[in-house]
């Protein structure tokens, strides 16, 4: 049909409007090969390797946003906000001789010195201490000032054993075995050559400047039976005093947690696929693991089923941004939550500070940066460059970390009180409803406005 | 407690880092030294000797007993009937002459810094893992992951060892009198491993650095592990080190072969296109 024939006829006396010419060749664009996918292939065709990046998950997955609270109205008696007490004290590893006692149910997760600058590490430690919370060394060993500034401190025992020192283990308040992390389950850590400075290399016994791709398996144990013995060894090493935590990337959570529980740790930490990273293959961060809302629920069920609830604490991390996420994670079954990138954002990540020039330095506007792996962090957080590090004032940063942690706790209380709890740990799945079928199925809570939980044979509550 | 400095953070801490002591890293500022005490490291006297029988004791009790004796200043301890219990002698963080009159289970003498240990029997998996300093000598055979992530000291097994020995090694010396299994020296970073017998597949796979000396045959080399020329320094060092433990290379140290890192994986991004296949 010609263009002419299809044009509507103008009424007499009315001026005929010019219609833009239709492009009969434009059928739309591919859902599969979107412009960014096309660009990705172009880049990889030149690079000949996978692409690295830092930061968080890029794609949309069922998430805490897909859940909502069902606060008290007439069926529940609400607790007065800001006035009546709502307990936030959190005890991790209650069976241990010296459990980890936190004032709030959130602490700073393990992020290595190397990935983070000295200023970032110490600011996190100081902020956490002010908030009555804890930090964790991460990979690559202890920096003494982090230990000194952290009132409560996890020491990480990671596959690579970079910088692992038994003297430092004896200084720890808890030991965390890194077995996996949510953003790249099944893989070891990464630190690109730019960040492997002389100092970082010396701490890790590596040649300076190499691209460090850490092992994915521990050197001295291979399966859960050996792990149980390894846990015992570390208990011997630390005098059977402090909690031992196993950090798992969320994959086959129900089975993994039951196996982990058999190793008799004090705490199990589950890292959802939302989890951030300092450096990882982009594809791994997008395409490994399961979402937090599914992982927490499965982990709690596993602990219940093996009779370890109340004995082994459950910690969740991955994509926690605010007190609502925190409260939802607790309601789904976590005893505490750890935060990574949200704390870095409190430090200044992605903030358009005066000294930084994001478009020129990183090629993106502030708010869109994910380039932690380059070591060129324009706000001094994920860099070892002395000039860039000066852009982070650790004194002010520590205060921001404290403010943020405190806010998370207060926001969490807000939901707990509204749901009629005098203790944030009393939040429960019954306080939640799902806004999507996926969230209902994964978190095993009913769809909002119904009693129907997707995936339950009788379509009722979990 | 020394004053914590909250100001001038850019200039503090890491810049005062120093490597000192035996092999432990002391990072902190001397002025703030009292902020750190190393718990669990005792002053002992080698001339103060004692022994006890571990037959009816749990591994926890044996370790507590060792610590208790060290806290009383005992510097030479002999343990009879260790009974291949796991995790015996872990995390001893001071000098000590320790003798096990028998065999150890998994993780024997792991995480130690300083003691001289003599094991008259065999050891299970992961003996002396993450050892920082000292010597551990085993008269018979050892299990897998022998000396995993070793950081310093000498770890000697006069018999055969299992697979993955010296995995993730970061320093120190491992000597194997007999043969070793597959993946030995996997991802080795520093240090030296001496194998007087044969080695299994993938010797030195993905090693970053360090040196493997092998007197026997190996089934295959791992990715990025290459043979290199022995130098006179290598020969002298080997001769001296082996003589300390009464060991000999079967065909003489001159015929020992030396394996080092090809260093191609150091910066994978910079490899030539044809070299990238290395990791397939
Ligand atoms: C910069 C950075 C460095 C990290 N380094 C480590 C590490 O050394 N060891 C580790 O177990 N996890 C590491 N992680 C992962 C975190 O511990 C945690 O699993 C994750 O960040 C949680 O997700 P979130 O960032 O969304 O809160 C790192 C994460 C970031 C962002
Ligand atoms: S601003 Fe720094 S910490 Fe934030 S994403 Fe960019 S490089 Fe990473």
Task: State the best of A149, A213, A219, A222 to mutate against chain B, taking most chain B CBs within 10 Å.
Answer: A219
Q: Is the pLDDT of residue B15 over 70?
A: no
State the CB neighbour count (10 A cutoff) for residue B83. 19
Rounded to whole angstroms, the Cα distance separating B170 from B168 reads 6
**Averaged pLDDT, groups of 10, chain A, 462 residues long:** 48 72 85 94 89 94 97 90 91 98 98 94 95 95 88 95 91 96 90 81 82 88 95 96 97 97 98 95 94 98 97 98 98 98 98 96 96 94 94 95 97 96 97 97 94 79 48
Provide the H-helix boundaries in A163-291.
166-170, 198-204, 224-237, 253-262, 282-287
Between the CA of A303 and the centroid of ligand 1 the distance, in Å, is 24
Q: Is the pLDDT of residue B129 over 50?
A: yes
Which helix (H) or strand (E) segment is A6 a member of? helix A3-6
Rounded to whole angstroms, the Cα distance separating A100 from A336 reads 11
Q: B111, A169: Cβ pair inside 8 Å?
A: yes
Q: Which residues in chain A are closer than 8 Å to B85, comparing Cβ atoms?
A: none
Q: B126, A220: Cβ pair inside 8 Å?
A: yes
Rounded to whole angstroms, the Cα distance separating A64 from B71 reads 52
Q: A167, B63: Cβ pair inside 8 Å?
A: no
Residue B15, CB-side half-sphere exposure with 13 Å CA sphere: 8
The shortest CB-CB distance from B27 to any of A144, A239, A389 is to A144
Q: What is the ipTM of this complex?
A: 0.87
B189 neighbors B265 (Cβ within 8 angstroms): no
In the three-class reduction of DSSP (H, G, I as helix; E, B as strand; rest coil), residue A371 is classed as coil
**The pair of three-digit structure tokens given for residue B240, joined into one six-digit string:** 């001296």
CA terminus-to-terminus distance, chain B:
54
Rounded to whole angstroms, the Cα distance separating A453 from A103 reads 34
A273 neighbors A296 (Cβ within 8 angstroms): no
- CA-based nearest residue in chain A for residue B274: A48
Better-predicted residue by pLDDT, B30 or B74: B74
The shortest CB-CB distance from A148 to any of B35, B170, B273 is to B35
Q: What is the CATH number of domain A53-428?
A: 3.20.20.70
Q: B113, A230: Cβ pair inside 8 Å?
A: no
Residues touching ligand 1 (Cβ under 6 Å) are A 56, 109-112, 115-116, 138-139, 156, 178, 181-182, 189, 247, 271, 274-278, 317-320, 339-342, 372, 382
Q: A237, B267: Cβ pair inside 8 Å?
A: no
Task: State the best of B8, B13, B182 to mutate against chain A, taking most chain A CBs within 10 Å.
Answer: B13
Query: Considering only the top CATH level, what class is B6-279?
Result: mainly beta
Rounded to whole angstroms, the Cα distance separating B132 from B114 reads 7
Q: Which residues in chain A are closer than 8 Å to B151, comparing Cβ atoms?
A: 165, 205
Q: Which residues in chain B are closer than 8 Å to A239, comparing Cβ atoms?
A: 40, 67
Q: A148, B32: Cβ pair inside 8 Å?
A: yes
Q: Please report, for chain A, the start and end positions of each structural domain, with discontinuous segments joined by +.
A: 53-428
pLDDT tens track for B141-199: 999 999 999 999 999 999 999 999 999 999 999 999 999 999 999 999 999 999 999 99
In the three-class reduction of DSSP (H, G, I as helix; E, B as strand; rest coil), residue A345 is classed as helix
Between the CA of B2 and the centroid of ligand 1 the distance, in Å, is 32
Task: State the best of A158, A211, A236 to mutate against chain B, taking most chain B CBs within 10 Å.
Answer: A236
**The pair of three-digit structure tokens given for residue A58, joined into one six-digit string:** 């890029």
Q: Which residues contact residue B21 at a Cβ distance below 8 angstroms, ignoring those fewer than 6 apart?
A: none
Q: Is the pLDDT of residue B8 over 50?
A: no
Q: A237, B91: Cβ pair inside 8 Å?
A: yes
Mean pLDDT of B19-30: 38
Q: A220, B129: Cβ pair inside 8 Å?
A: yes
- A207 near B CB under 8 A: yes
Token look-up 């990337």 returns: A249
The shortest CB-CB distance from B90 to any of A203, A233, A395 is to A233
Going from the C-alpha of A109 to that of each of A1, A112, A209, A344, the distances in angstroms are: 65, 10, 26, 11
Radius of gyration (Cα) for chain B, nearest Å? 21
pLDDT at A9: 56
Distance from CA of B62 to the nearest CA of A (A): 10
Radius of gyration (Cα) for chain A, nearest Å? 25
pLDDT at A15: 73
- A194 near B CB under 8 A: no
Task: State the best of B1, B3, B4, B14 to mutate against chain A, taking most chain A CBs within 10 Å.
Answer: B14
| Beta strand pairing call for A106-108 and A336-339 | parallel
3-state SS string over chain B? CCCCCCCCHHHCHHHHCEECCCCCEECCCHHHHHHCCCCCCCCCEEEEEEEEECCCCCHHHHHHHHHHHHHCCEEEEEEECCCCCCCCCCCCCCCCEEEEECCECCCCCCCCEEEEEEECCCECCCCCCCCCEEEEEECCCECCCCCCCCCCCEEEECCCECCCCCCCCEEEEEEECCCECCCCCCCCCEEEEEECCCECCCECCCCCCCEEEECCCECCECCCEEEECCCHHHHHHHHHHHHHCCCCCCCCHHHCEEEEECCCCCCHHHCCHHHHHHHC
* Neighbouring-strand partners of residue A69: A432
Q: Please report, for chain B, the start and end positions of each structural domain, with discontinuous segments joined by +.
A: 6-279
Q: Is the pLDDT of residue B9 over 90?
A: no
Q: Which residues in chain B are closer than 8 Å to A51, comparing Cβ atoms?
A: none
Q: Which of A192, A339, A342, A372 to mutate to test the pocket of ligand 2 (most atoms within 8 A of CB)?
A: A372
- A203 near B CB under 8 A: yes
Between the CA of A113 and the centroid of ligand 1 the distance, in Å, is 11
B98 neighbors B75 (Cβ within 8 angstroms): no
Between the CA of A109 and the centroid of ligand 1 the distance, in Å, is 6
Q: Which residues in chain B are closer than 8 Å to A389, comparing Cβ atoms?
A: 10
Q: A166, B93: Cβ pair inside 8 Å?
A: yes
* Neighbouring-strand partners of residue A207: none
CA terminus-to-terminus distance, chain A:
59
Q: Which residues in chain B are closer than 8 Å to A236, comparing Cβ atoms?
A: 59-60, 63, 87, 90-91
Q: Residue A163: is it exposed, middle or buried by C-beta count within 10 angstroms (0-12/13-18/19+)?
A: buried
Q: Cα-flanking dihedrals φ and ψ of residue A261, to 5°? A: -65, -30
Residue B224's pLDDT band (boundaries 50, 70, 90)?
A: very high
- CA-based nearest residue in chain A for residue B67: A239
Residue ranges of E strands in A188-311: 190-191, 212-213, 244-249, 267-271, 277-281
Q: A226, B125: Cβ pair inside 8 Å?
A: yes
B151 neighbors A252 (Cβ within 8 angstroms): no
> In chain A, positions 94-133, which contact chain B (CB-CB < 8 Å)?
118-119, 122, 126
Of A118, A312, A417, nearest to B13 by C-alpha is A118
Q: A211, B130: Cβ pair inside 8 Å?
A: no
């Amino acid at each position: 049909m010609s263009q002419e024939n299809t044009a509507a006829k103008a009424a007499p006396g009315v001026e005929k409007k010019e219609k833009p010419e239709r492009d009969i060749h434009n059928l739309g664009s591919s859902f599969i090969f979107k412009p960014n996918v096309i660009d990705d292939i172009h880049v990889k065709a030149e690079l000949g390797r996978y692409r690295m990046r830092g930061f968080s998950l890029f794609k949309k997955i069922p998430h805490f946003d897909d859940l909502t609270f069902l606060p008290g109205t007439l069926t529940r008696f609400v607790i007065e906000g800001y006035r009546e007490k709502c307990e936030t004290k959190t005890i991790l590893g209650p069976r241990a001789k010296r459990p980890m006692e936190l004032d709030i149910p959130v602490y700073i997760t393990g992020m290595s010195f190397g990935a983070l600058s000295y200023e970032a590490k110490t600011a996190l430690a100081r902020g956490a201490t002010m908030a009555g919370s804890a930090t964790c060394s991460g990979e690559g060993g202890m920096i003494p000032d982090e230990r000194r500034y952290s009132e409560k401190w996890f020491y990480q025992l990671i596959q690579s054993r970079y910088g692992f020192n038994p003297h430092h283990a004896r200084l720890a308040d808890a030991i965390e075995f890194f077995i996996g992390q949510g953003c790249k389950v099944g893989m070891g850590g990464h630190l690109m050559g730019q960040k492997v400075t002389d100092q970082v290399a010396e701490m890790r016994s590596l040649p300076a400047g190499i691209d460090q791709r850490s092992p994915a398996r521990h050197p001295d144990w291979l399966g859960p039976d050996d792990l149980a013995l390894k846990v015992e060894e570390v208990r011997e090493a630390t005098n059977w005093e402090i909690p031992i935590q196993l950090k798992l990337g969320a994959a086959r959570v129900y089975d993994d947690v039951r196996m982990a529980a058999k190793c008799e740790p004090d705490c199990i930490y589950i890292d959802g696929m939302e989890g951030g990273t300092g450096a990882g293959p982009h594809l791994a961060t997008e395409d490994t693991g399961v979402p937090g809302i599914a992982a927490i629920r499965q982990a709690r069920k596993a602990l219940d089923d093996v009779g370890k609830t109340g004995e082994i604490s459950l910690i969740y991390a991955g994509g926690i941004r605010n007190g609502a996420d925190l409260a939802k994670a607790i309601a789904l079954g976590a005893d505490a939550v750890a935060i990574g990138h949200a704390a870095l954002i409190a430090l200044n990540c992605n903030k358009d500070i005066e000294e930084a020039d994001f478009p020129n330095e990183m090629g993106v506007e502030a708010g869109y940066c994910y380039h932690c792996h380059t070591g060129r962090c324009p706000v001094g957080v994920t860099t070892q460059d002395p000039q860039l590090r000066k852009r982070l004032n650790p004194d002010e940063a520590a205060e921001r970390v404290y403010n943020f942690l405190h806010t998370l706790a207060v926001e969490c209380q807000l939901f707990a009180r509204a749901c009629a709890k005098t203790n944030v740990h009393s939040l429960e799945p019954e306080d939640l409803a799902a806004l999507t079928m996926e969230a209902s199925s994964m978190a095993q809570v009913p769809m909002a406005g119904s009693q129907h939980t997707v995936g339950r044979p009788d379509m009722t509550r979990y | 407690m020394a004053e914590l400095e909250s100001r001038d953070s850019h200039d503090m801490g890491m810049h005062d880092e120093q490597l000192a002591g035996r092999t432990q890293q002391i990072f902190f500022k001397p002025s703030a030294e009292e902020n750190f005490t190393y718990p669990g490291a005792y002053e002992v006297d080698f001339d103060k000797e004692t022994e006890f029988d571990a037959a009816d004791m749990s591994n926890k009790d044996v370790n507590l007993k060792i610590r208790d004796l060290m806290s009383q200043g005992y510097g030479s301890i002999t343990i009879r009937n260790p009974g291949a219990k796991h995790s015996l002698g872990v995390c001893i963080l001071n000098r000590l002459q320790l003798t096990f009159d028998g065999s150890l289970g998994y993780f024997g003498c792991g995480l130690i810094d300083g003691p001289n240990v003599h094991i008259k029997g065999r050891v299970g998996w992961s003996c002396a893992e993450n050892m920082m300093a000292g010597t551990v000598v085993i008269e018979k055979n050892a299990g897998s992951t022998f000396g995993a992530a070793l950081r310093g000291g000498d770890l000697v097994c006069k018999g055969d060892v299992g697979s993955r020995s010296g995995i993730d090694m970061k320093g120190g010396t491992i000597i194997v009198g007999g043969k070793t299994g597959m993946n030995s020296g996997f991802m080795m970073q520093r240090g030296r491993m001496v194998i007087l017998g044969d080695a299994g597949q993938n010797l030195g796979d993905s090693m970053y650095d360090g040196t493997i000396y092998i007197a026997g045959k190996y089934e295959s080399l791992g990715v990025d592990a290459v043979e290199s020329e022995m130098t006179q320094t290598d020969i002298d060092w080997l001769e001296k080190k082996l003589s300390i433990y009464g060991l000999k290379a079967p065909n003489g140290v001159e015929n020992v072969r030396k394996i080092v890192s090809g260093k191609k994986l150091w910066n994978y991004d910079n490899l030539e296109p044809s070299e990238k296949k290395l990791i397939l």
